């Protein structure tokens, strides 16, 4: 008896959810605003990825340059501050570190 009741209850819930999904789909189909919003979101995602790619490459180059300074050129630098500066500001940060080191200023 309880099994039949639960089956009937589940069946009506699935039918209700299916009907609601169909109603929403019918409201969105052919709606130009939804199409424009979709294109705007796709363009925004592509622009964000392009911008982030440049930031990631700059940070990687900064860390590589830092490693060359420390391990190849044997320039003594503080570990944490210089890594953070190199990772955030990239090659410009490495240049700033070298200028500070040239003028014997603390980092």
Per-residue pLDDT at 106: 86
pTM of the predicted model as reported, rounded to 2 decimal places: 0.58
Per-residue pLDDT at 23: 72
Specify if 24 maps to a domain: no
> Using CA atoms, how far apart are residues 87 and 66, in angstroms rounded to an integer?
9
Specify if 86 maps to a domain: yes
- pLDDT-based confidence at residue 9 (cuts at 50, 70, 90): very low
Place of tokens 């830092």: 66
Specify if 91 maps to a domain: yes
Number of domains making up the chain: 1
Specify if 12 maps to a domain: no
For residues 72 and 62, the answer to whether their CB atoms sit within 8 Å is no
Question: CB under 8 Å to 61, separation ≥6 — which residues?
Answer: 90, 91
CB atoms within 10 A of CB 99: 10
Q: Tell me which residue range forms the domain holding 77.
A: 53-106
Specify if 102 maps to a domain: yes
The tens digit of pLDDT for each residue in 13-35 reads 556 656 676 777 777 777 788 88
> Could you tell me which of 67, 106, 105 has the C-alpha nearest to residue 86?
67
Specify if 3 maps to a domain: no
Specify if 62 maps to a domain: yes
Mean confidence (pLDDT) of the chain: 83
Over residues 36-52, the mean pLDDT reads 92
Specify if 70 maps to a domain: yes
Helix (H) / strand (E) element for 86: namely helix 79-89
């Amino acid at each position: 008896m309880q099994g039949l009741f639960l089956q009937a209850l589940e069946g009506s819930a699935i039918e209700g959810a299916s009907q609601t999904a169909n109603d929403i789909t019918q409201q969105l189909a052919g709606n130009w605003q939804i199409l424009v919003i979709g294109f705007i979101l796709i363009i925004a995602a592509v622009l964000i990825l392009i911008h982030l790619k440049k930031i990631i490459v700059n940070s990687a180059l900064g860390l590589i340059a830092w490693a060359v300074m420390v391990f190849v050129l044997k320039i003594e630098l503080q570990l944490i501050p210089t890594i953070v500066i190199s990772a955030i500001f990239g090659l410009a940060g490495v240049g700033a570190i070298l200028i500070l080191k040239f003028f014997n200023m603390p980092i």
